[in-house]
Amino acid sequence: MTASKKTAPLPLGPPHDPSDYPPFAVTADIALFTIRDGRFQLLLIERGQPPFLGRLALPGGFLHPDEDAETAARRELFEETALDAGSGHLEQLRSYSTPDRDPRQRVVTVAFWAILPALEPVHGGTDARAARFVPVEDLEADIAAAAIAGPGGHLAFDHDRIVTDAISRARSKLEYTTFAARFCPSEFTMTDLRLVYEAVWGTELEPANFRRKVEGIEGFIQPSGRSTSDRASDEPRHWSEPGERESWSVQMLAHRSQSPPAMSESRLLGAAPPDPAPAPPMQGSSDTSGRRRGRPASLYEWAGGEDLFPPFRRPGT
């Protein structure tokens, strides 16, 4: 048996000298999505200090020496808007490292995107002069107009690019994960869930086909054993504005009847387009699918599964 032949070690290069590389800072930014007043919305802050004083931007800031990027993103969100991302979904989007993206110095940003449901009003803090929710469809139009107008962008820094990437990620996630349920309250109707898809994707879905699809996916949702009549008798809950006690579906449908978004053709998974849209729902009806037939709508909970199989397919994709 022949002995294995030893290979000579590769020669080492010159010692690494950190001074050969200029220092750079690291920041964490967060794109936080929710649904308010029936619309898919993103949280922005108004910068209270240079650079880009007074411009809208994503919440975020520099990492402290003793924290990682996710910790910094959560901290900055709370400091600038008083919102805690711990109760929702948070995941890393990507990093952004174009050399001249910050006029102060070389800065690399680790960006995150998050979902929080039924948020209360927000207020600016620390170096954020103000904080507000902006409808995604309006923001996309502003970003597109700024790109046509010339360099500079609509948002501060390169946040136009980060926001565009985050919106695309959020929409695509609904095709192969159960993340749509994270936009809903802890208990929700089938209409609540469908309206999330319609708000995020900007398209109408056929209710009966949507129900069949959702009920056929194991690990997506599960019955809570309660109905909208039980929910109506609960203690008041927090909604998107102080004093609101209407069902989440009513808020979504009421906004649609007042200011309907531009909708593409209404199809789900190859289903035929539905009949012409009925008249706007009566105020006070918490779920059109149940109340039309004279009974309260069933409530569901997220079942805890992550991946959808078979996945949804967004109309038009």
Residue ending a domain, among 155, 173, 191, is 173
- Look at the chain and report how many structural domains it folds into: 2
- Answer for the pair 187, 299: CB distance below 8 angstroms, yes or no: yes
Q: Could you tell me the residue range of the domain that residue 294 belongs to?
A: 177-302
Give pLDDT, residue 96.
98
Give pLDDT, residue 19.
77
Residue ending a domain, among 173, 207, 232, is 173
What's the CA gap between 133 and 117, in Å, rounded? 13
User: What's the CATH number where 132 sits?
Assistant: 3.90.79.10
The total of other beta-carbon atoms located within 10 Å of residue 310's CB is 10
- Answer for the pair 154, 125: CB distance below 8 angstroms, yes or no: no
Q: Are residues 222 and 132 in the same domain?
A: no
What's the CA gap between 217 and 211, in Å, rounded? 10
Residue ending a domain, among 146, 173, 200, is 173
Give pLDDT, residue 122.
85
Give pLDDT, residue 263.
39
Q: Residue 99 domain-assigned?
A: yes
Q: What is the pLDDT of residues 122-140, one digit of tens each?
A: 888 888 999 999 999 999 9
Q: Residue 16 domain-assigned?
A: no
Give pLDDT, residue 249.
63
Collect the ranges in the chain with pLDDT lower than 70: 1-5, 11-13, 118, 233-294
Structure tokens given for 259: 């200011």
Give pLDDT, residue 266.
38
Q: Are residues 185 and 281 in the same domain?
A: yes
Q: Are residues 213 and 186 in the same domain?
A: yes
Q: Residue 309 domain-assigned?
A: no
Q: Are residues 39 and 65 in the same domain?
A: yes
Q: Are residues 134 and 230 in the same domain?
A: no
Q: Residue 6 domain-assigned?
A: no
Give pLDDT, residue 244.
40
What's the CA gap between 315 and 217, in Å, rounded? 19
Q: Residue 307 domain-assigned?
A: no
Q: Residue 316 domain-assigned?
A: no
Question: Which segments of 203-281 are extended strands (E)?
Answer: 221-227
